[in-house]
A and B are shown apart, each in its own frame.
Chain A
């Protein structure tokens, strides 16, 4: 690689790499989010997807612009022995002003708009008529619990957990009346178009609740019961997976979210309580 060849090889290579890398970004931007993202089945997911698409476009432009300019300048200015050194118009001051104005504005805009999407998920409490379901994560399974006819959950007694006898939550129906009609399930079954208020409880170590189609991810924190709420809009079966490293069976820790019509859900709940 003699003379200016070295610079030209680099320039061509970096431009090719940048264009190849950007194919999914460009497809996402011009052909729609479904090229790169799974289907969204939640009411709040649209805000997240839109935020992601705007960010993708802005990141894509910054990425391509920087790589192409890098390639162009190296192509043009490598190995030009003896020629005078030209200064970039405006110098460092221009760079600082450009960065503050453009990137500052971009960052503020993304931050402001993105905060709204975050707020729809986390600042608004679940509505009072949302269906309450408790989710428990333990090595390496999820269990779900419905309060039954009394609308109250029985208390959890960790020492009474007995998976052999299907007492996954450590309930004490003998002494604890609300626990008697609690319904336990290995799958999260919910009606479509109805808000679900999920109470997250960790049995042993940290876990996480992730349904990609729901655009929901939330940690289970031992000692800290958290909650989240969502409304699923499409009937179907979706995988729930653990995304917080929890031990040897982490990759295998999963369950399903079954979204049913209200009618089917009522039937299912009835069949479970019998």
Chain B
């Protein structure tokens, strides 16, 4: 191999500012761009949730600055009932698509998947750049809905037809805002499909010498499995959004049946089915839950192993469990539709695979717990967030027992029980994985350490705060508290308002605690202490790069050679109790 070819990466080192930081082909820069986008989206989504929580318990309180954002939706800063639902829709859409899909999967996956398999970049760097910028366009389209005619969309993040399909007759938020929502999601789907293809091609084709599939770390597997799920899921949501847009603007009737009288107008449609939208949406929507949580499972397992100084009881079993969950995720979408009017027999068909997901989820939890037994667990911000993840995963998981059973769903469907369930298992647990990943990989991404004291405070306050918010949701749901209400006026809801007040205080508190993280992130980026090359004494390839952050081609023109399974801990070696995957050293297990 000539000197040239050794040094030639898939693309040359960028020199101009634009190529280096804006339209970069470097997967690491793109990963950071995704992270930044997710951060912007999570801040926006969280602020929306604060406004909603404040409005729910102090309906007449003016919220500073909101009157400026929407004179119609919040005259004088006081949120109207319809604006509440518009904020709710934007909150859900931002969080599910732009935070939970982007941060654990696209951001960390982009940055670390190529490095962990010893590649110089993604298989298709240009596609990768296009993926990010397409996602960015989708984000801008969605946010622009705040500033158009009748404001943001109002159909919830699930966009149920025909409410979302018939147009402005259905009320505020059903005009251009709802169309922008459909277009934004459609564009997002295109970006996600490109990204998934890229992840799959990269994993299969660009592994370095010695990096067999079985030597890939758990988290690499998690990103790989997630991209397979994502490829199928977004491929269904994309045409669904296209059909919805056509129903809205081109007079088609995919989701609109005949004879609808909306606001005294007979709708000029016939022959469509609202259930078709639900089937298409949830065929994407349920796997989407695993698109958010599988990367977090991978991140947490990877970080825990390093901090326990031992491999999991079996990290392969965790990988098999992730595959099983990915497979089952396509057989359960109907459990969102038990009460939708689909054939009641099919409810049972969807219920059993849903309950069966408990088995791989339990195996993983038992393996995490069993691996903690007898370990030498190091407590740091990253490992604490991993422990928090396990706790949340269990808490959010057990409530799935209830909702998986159609008989119980009759009572709990569309109550706060569901809101509590998915916020814990899909929202908070996945975000805990993202926090763990941030504290763990920050030294690699920036060359500096994050502040551990701030990190631990951030963890403890977040753990307390998120439980204080989302645990009571379940009990509100058991009391029959309906979700997506902008005010609680019904006789049976009024007595529950004190609980909502407590939750609002907890939400404001938890949100404020995130400022600690933001301060830590910004301060450590510029003033953090210099990071050693391998601060956590971890074995995988991202810690074998010649510098932090790694050079543009990751390994400085070298091709790393892999000699070991990913997690050689608890051994006697020249480096201590671990052996890098790239080290040719043969070791024996410490007695």
User: Which A residues are closer than 8 A to B by beta carbons?
Assistant: 1, 4, 6-7, 9-10, 13-14, 17, 20-21, 24, 28, 36-38, 47-48, 51-52, 55-56, 58-60, 62-63, 66-67, 69-70, 73-74, 77-88, 91-92, 94-96, 98-100, 103-104, 106-107, 110-111, 114-118, 121-123, 138-139, 158-159, 161, 170, 203-206, 208, 210, 212, 215-219, 221-224, 226, 239, 241, 243-252, 254
A92–B314 touching, CB < 8 Å: yes
State A215–B415 Cα separation when bound (angstroms).
Answer: 13
Complex CA–CA separation, A92 to B478 (angstroms):
36
* B377 interfacial by beta-carbon distance below 8 Å: yes
A107→B341 CA distance, assembly (Å): 25
Give Cα A117–Cα B492 distance, bound, in whole angstroms: 25
B contact residues around A56 at 8 Å (CB): 402
- Chain A residues with Cβ below 8 Å from B522 are none
Binding site for A on B (CB under 8 A): 80-82, 85, 154-156, 160, 162-163, 166, 170-174, 256-264, 266, 272-275, 309-310, 312-314, 317, 339-341, 344-345, 347-348, 351-352, 355-356, 358-359, 362-363, 365-367, 369-380, 384, 387, 390-391, 394-395, 398-399, 401-402, 405-408, 410-411, 413-415, 456, 460, 463-464, 467, 471, 475, 478-480, 482-492, 570, 590-591
Residue of A nearest to B380 (CB): A6
Contact call A79/B378, Cβ cutoff below 8 A? yes
Given contacts A103-B358, A245-B163, contact A37 B395 (CB under 8 A): no
Task: Name which residue of chain B comes closest to A102, CB basis.
Answer: B362
Contact (Cβ within 8 A) A245 B358: no
Q: Are B479 and A205 in contact (CB under 8 A)?
A: no
**Contact, CB under 8 Å: B479 / A37:** yes
> Can you report 27 A-B residue pairs in the complex whose CB atoms are below 8 A from each other?
A6-B380, A14-B387, A14-B391, A37-B479, A48-B408, A62-B394, A81-B376, A85-B375, A107-B356, A110-B355, A111-B355, A118-B348, A122-B344, A138-B261, A139-B263, A204-B170, A205-B163, A205-B166, A208-B339, A222-B257, A239-B491, A245-B160, A245-B484, A247-B82, A247-B85, A248-B81, A252-B489
Known contacts A55-B402, A121-B410: A95-B274 contact under CB 8 Å: no
Known: A13-B464, A37-B478, A139-B171; 9 extra A-B contacts, CB below 8 A, are A38-B492, A51-B408, A63-B398, A85-B590, A92-B314, A170-B261, A204-B162, A221-B341, A248-B154
Residue from A37, A73, A117, A138 in contact with B369 in the complex, judged by beta carbons closer than 8 Å: A73
**Among A14, A70, A91, A245, which residue has its beta carbon within 8 angstroms of that of B314?**
A91
A111: chain B residues within 8 A (beta carbon): 348, 351-352, 355, 405
- A110 near B464 (CB under 8 angstroms)? no
Determine the chain A residues whose CB is within 8 A of the CB of B171 once the complex forms.
Answer: 139, 247-248
**A203 CA to B166 CA in the complex, in Å?**
13
Q: Are B359 and A103 in contact (CB under 8 A)?
A: yes
B170 and A217 contact, CB distance less than 8 A: no
Interface contact A250-B484, CB-CB below 8 Å: yes
**Contact between chains at A118 and B413 (CB < 8 Å):** no
The one of A10, A96, A104, A254 that contacts B384, using a Cβ cutoff of 8 Å: A10
Minimal beta-carbon separation of A55 from chain B (angstroms): 5
A115 to chain B, nearest CB (A): 5
Q: Which residues of A contact B490 (CB under 8 A)?
A: 239, 241, 254
Q: Which of A7, A98, A212 has the most CB of B within 10 A?
A: A212
Pairwise interchain contact B376-A80, C-beta atoms closer than 8 A: yes
What chain B residues lie within 8 Å of A224 (beta carbons)?
257, 273-275, 341
Whether A99 pairs with B366 at a CB distance below 8 angstroms is yes
Distance, CA A161 to CA B260, complexed state (A)? 11
User: Do B379 and A78 have beta carbons less than 8 Å apart?
Assistant: yes
What residues on B are CB-neighbors of A85 within 8 Å? 309-310, 374-376, 570, 590
Roughly how many angstroms separate A188 CA and B374 CA in the complex, as a whole number? 63
> Which residues on B sit within 8 Å (CB–CB) of A204?
162, 166, 170, 260-263
CA gap between A204 and B46 in the complex, in Å: 33
Query: What are the residues of chain B within 8 A of A205 when measuring CB–CB?
Result: 162-163, 166, 170, 260, 262
A37 to B474, CA, bound (A): 12
A222 partner residues in chain B, CB cutoff 8 A: 162, 256-257, 260, 274
Residues of chain B within 8 A of A239, CB atoms compared = 490-492
Nearest 7 CB-CB pairings of A with B: A223-B257, A86-B374, A6-B379, A92-B314, A248-B82, A212-B480, A117-B407
Closest CB in chain B relative to A11 CB, distance in Å: 9
- Which residue on chain A has the smallest CB distance to residue B159? A245
Find chain A residues with CB under 8 A from B467 CB: 17, 21
Partner of A216, one of B380, B410, B478: B410
In the complex, the answer to whether B413 meets A159 with C-beta atoms within 8 Å is: no
- Contact partner of B274 (CB less than 8 A), chosen from A4, A7, A17, A221, is A221
Judging by beta carbons under 8 Å apart, are A95 and B367 in contact?
A: yes
B165 (CB) vs chain A CBs: closest residue? A205
Establish whether residues B405 and A21, one from each chain, have CB atoms under 8 Å apart when the complex forms: no
CB distance from A6 to the nearest CB of B (A): 3
A103 CA / B364 CA spacing, docked (Å): 13
Q: Are A212 and B401 in contact (CB under 8 A)?
A: no
Q: Which of B260, B358, B406 contacts A114 (CB 8 A)?
A: B406
Residues of B within 8 A of A123 (CB): 344-345
Give complex CA distance A17, B376 in Å: 24
With beta carbons under 8 angstroms apart, the residue of B309, B344, B374, B486 that contacts A118 is B344
Knowing A73-B369, A221-B274, A239-B490, the reply to whether A159 touches B377 (Cβ < 8 A) is no
Query: Is A206 a contact of B160 with CB atoms below 8 Å?
Result: yes
Least Cβ distance of A106 to chain B in Å?
8
Question: Are A63 and B374 in contact, with the CB atoms below 8 A?
Answer: no
- In the bound complex, what is the Cα–Cα distance between A36 and B376 (angstroms)? 42
Residues of A within 8 A of B264 (CB): 161
CB proximity of B428 to chain A, nearest CB, Å:
13
Residue of B with least CB distance to A159: B266
Known: A63-B395, A85-B374, A203-B261. A10 touches B160 (CB 8 A): no
* Option from A7, A122, A226 in Cβ contact (under 8 Å) with B379: A7
Complex contacts, B257 vs chain A, CB 8 Å: 222-224
Q: Tell me which of A80, A247, A254 has the highest count of chain B C-beta atoms within 10 A of its own C-beta.
A: A247
**Which residues on the B side are within 8 Å of A81 (C-beta)?**
376
Contact A17 B154 (CB under 8 A): no
* Chain A, residue nearest B310 (CB): A85
User: What residues of chain A lie closer than 8 Å to B410, measured between beta carbons?
Assistant: 48, 118, 121, 215-217
CA distance A86 to B591 in the complex (A): 10
Q: Which of A17, A62, A138 contacts B398 (CB 8 A)?
A: A62
Contact of B372 with A219 in the complex, beta carbons under 8 Å: no
Task: For the complex formed, measure the closest distance between the CB of A135 and the CB atoms of chain B, giving whole angstroms.
Answer: 14
A73 B373 Cβ-Cβ under 8 A = yes
CB distance from B224 to the nearest CB of A (A): 21
Q: Which residues of A contact B275 (CB under 8 A)?
A: 221, 224
